[in-house]
């Protein structure tokens, strides 16, 4: 999941109504998706359409795809989508871009080409990357920035990203491997292990859940929450599989990345949605006057009696200096979680209004009707 761009909480909530490319509950509208592809200005629109419509969109994607373009462009996204859908010509183009083949030689900007192959993430793309890694096992592939950012070895970045999309990656805990570059090379060459790409959609028969599974495979991690939102317990082992992939997170952990969502956020929240008490407590703990943004959003996504109770309980720890920063968002979130709330979402952030919510909840918690958030993907 780390290869997908992280989502800022505020942007996430603001963008929810704008998502027009959600997995359909019924038949997939291929003509509408085709039209979206032709009119696209945003590469994510291309990726979402391709994840939903699949191979039926290959003719349209071929019309706009171009080699040598970043995945952050519409033309590059179309090329990546074609390769991910199994188009051999697009895959050969990416192979040539990475390895400098062709007449004239086709060199792309190296990190950009690697990113495209990681987004493709199927057996052939992983094989292309692994063969390149093997060929450069003794040569650092340094990338230098024009800014003040430090240089880095792209091989290390490559294996970190591969670990997020290869289910049987040679990481610590998998046999005698420890996840360094030599382990990856030996795993692939000496031990002849066949990499297993991340697969989610194949675990389902229902077309809607298959579509959500494809969204996860295409890097749209919010679809993990949509899968959990179905309440289907068959999602639990899939989420746990995702949780077990990749290198351990080593970044900021004070409140589990307070304004950015990472893989553990999706996993914790999905398991909490599916009834896991331990992960619910982790999520609920984030709803405090000192790290309120992720906790409130996550509890709203979980919804229901237990989530509202956690937010009501969090109000007891508010100190006067936190009223402006915490009480306003708290009252707004609570009002969106129940039908016929005692106060509107824009209620003034005062101690009196907090008490009104506490009194109302004490009287209505066993009869309240809860509002479920719509799907993200």
Tokens standing for 76?
């590059």
How confident is the model at residue 294, as a pLDDT? 75
How confident is the model at residue 20, as a pLDDT? 61
Work out the burial of residue 355: count CB atoms within 10 Å of its CB; fewer than 13 is exposed, 13-18 middle, 19 or more buried: exposed
Tokens standing for 163?
């670990």
How confident is the model at residue 317, as a pLDDT? 73
Closest CA to 258 of 297, 224, 229, 225: 297
So where are the chain's domains? 7-188, 286-377
Q: Which residues pair with 153 in a beta bridge?
A: 142
Lowest mean pLDDT among 5-14, 67-76, 122-131, 275-284: 5-14
**Is the Cβ–Cβ distance between 51 and 211 less than 8 Å?**
yes
User: Which range has highest mean pLDDT (186-200, 261-275, 293-307)?
Assistant: 186-200
Closest CA to 177 of 199, 263, 168: 168
How confident is the model at residue 365, as a pLDDT? 96
* Per-residue pLDDT band at 254 (split at 50, 70, 90): very low
Each residue's pLDDT tens digit, 167-182:
999 998 888 899 999 9
**Is the Cβ–Cβ distance between 263 and 247 less than 8 Å?**
no
Mean pLDDT, to the nearest integer, of 89-98?
95
How confident is the model at residue 264, as a pLDDT? 81
Lowest mean pLDDT among 142-156, 176-190, 198-212: 142-156
Other Cβ atoms closer than 10 A to 282: 19
Tokens standing for 279?
């992960």
DSSP state of 57: G
Tokens standing for 38?
């032709």
- Asked if pLDDT for residue 292 goes beyond 60, the answer is no
**Is the Cβ–Cβ distance between 291 and 325 less than 8 Å?**
no
Closest CA to 209 of 240, 233, 237, 230: 230
Closest CA to 42 of 21, 16, 13: 21
Question: What pTM was computed for the model?
Answer: 0.87
* Per-residue pLDDT band at 259 (split at 50, 70, 90): very low
**Is the Cβ–Cβ distance between 134 and 128 less than 8 Å?**
no
* Per-residue pLDDT band at 295 (split at 50, 70, 90): confident
**Is the Cβ–Cβ distance between 217 and 51 less than 8 Å?**
yes
Q: Which residues pair with 152 in a beta bridge?
A: 143
**Is the Cβ–Cβ distance between 121 and 91 less than 8 Å?**
no
Which single residue is written with the structure tokens 């509202």?
308
How confident is the model at residue 11, as a pLDDT? 35
How confident is the model at residue 3, as a pLDDT? 37
Which residues contact residue 75 at a Cβ distance below 8 angstroms, ignoring those fewer than 6 apart?
Answer: 64, 65, 66, 69
Helices 292-302 and 328-337, packing angle to 10 deg: 10
* Per-residue pLDDT band at 312 (split at 50, 70, 90): very high
What value does the mean pLDDT of the chain take? 87
Which single residue is written with the structure tokens 């949780």?
243
Lowest mean pLDDT among 5-19, 24-38, 358-372: 5-19
Instruction: Count helices and strands (H / E) in the chain.
Output: 19, 4
How confident is the model at residue 73, as a pLDDT? 96
Helices 74-84 and 88-99, packing angle to 10 deg: 110
Strand 142-143 with 260-261, pairing: unpaired
């Amino acid at each position: 999941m780390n290869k997908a761009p992280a989502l800022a909480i505020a942007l996430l909530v603001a963008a929810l109504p704008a998502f027009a490319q959600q997995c359909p509950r019924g038949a997939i509208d291929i003509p509408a998706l085709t039209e979206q592809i032709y009119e696209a200005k945003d590469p994510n629109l291309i990726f979402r359409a391709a994840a939903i419509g699949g191979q039926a969109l290959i003719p349209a994607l071929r019309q706009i795809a171009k080699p040598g373009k970043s995945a952050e462009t519409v033309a590059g996204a179309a090329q990546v989508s074609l390769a991910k859908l199994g188009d051999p010509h697009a895959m050969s183009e990416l192979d040539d871009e990475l390895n400098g083949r062709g007449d004239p030689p086709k060199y792309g900007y190296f990190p950009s080409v690697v990113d495209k192959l990681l987004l493709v993430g199927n057996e052939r793309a992983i094989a292309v990357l692994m063969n390149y890694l093997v060929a450069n096992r003794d040569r650092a592939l340094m990338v230098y920035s024009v800014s003040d950012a430090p240089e880095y070895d792209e091989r290390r970045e490559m294996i970190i990203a591969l670990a997020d999309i290869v289910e049987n990656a040679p990481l610590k805990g998998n046999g005698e491997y420890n996840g360094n570059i030599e382990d990856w090379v030996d795993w692939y060459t000496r031990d002849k292990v066949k990499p297993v790409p991340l697969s989610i959609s194949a675990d389902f028969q229902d077309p809607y859940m298959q579509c959500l599974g494809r969204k996860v495979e295409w890097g749209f991690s919010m679809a993990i929450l949509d899968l959990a939102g179905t309440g289907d317990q068959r999602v639990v082992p899939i989420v746990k599989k995702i949780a077990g992939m990749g290198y351990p997170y080593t970044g900021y952990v004070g409140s589990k990345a307070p304004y950015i969502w990472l893989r553990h956020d999706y996993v914790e929240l999905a398991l909490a949605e599916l009834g896991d008490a331990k992960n619910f407590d982790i999520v609920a703990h984030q709803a405090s006057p000192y790290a309120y943004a992720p906790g409130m959003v996550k509890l709203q996504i979980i919804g229901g009696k237990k989530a509202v109770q956690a937010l009501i309980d969090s109000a007891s720890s508010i100190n006067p200096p936190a009223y402006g920063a915490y009480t306003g968002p708290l009252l707004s979130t609570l009002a969106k979680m129940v039908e016929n709330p005692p106060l509107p979402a824009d209620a003034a952030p005062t101690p009196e209004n907090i008490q009104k919510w506490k009194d109302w909840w004490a009287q209505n918690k066993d009869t309240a009707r809860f509002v479920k958030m719509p799907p993200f993907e």
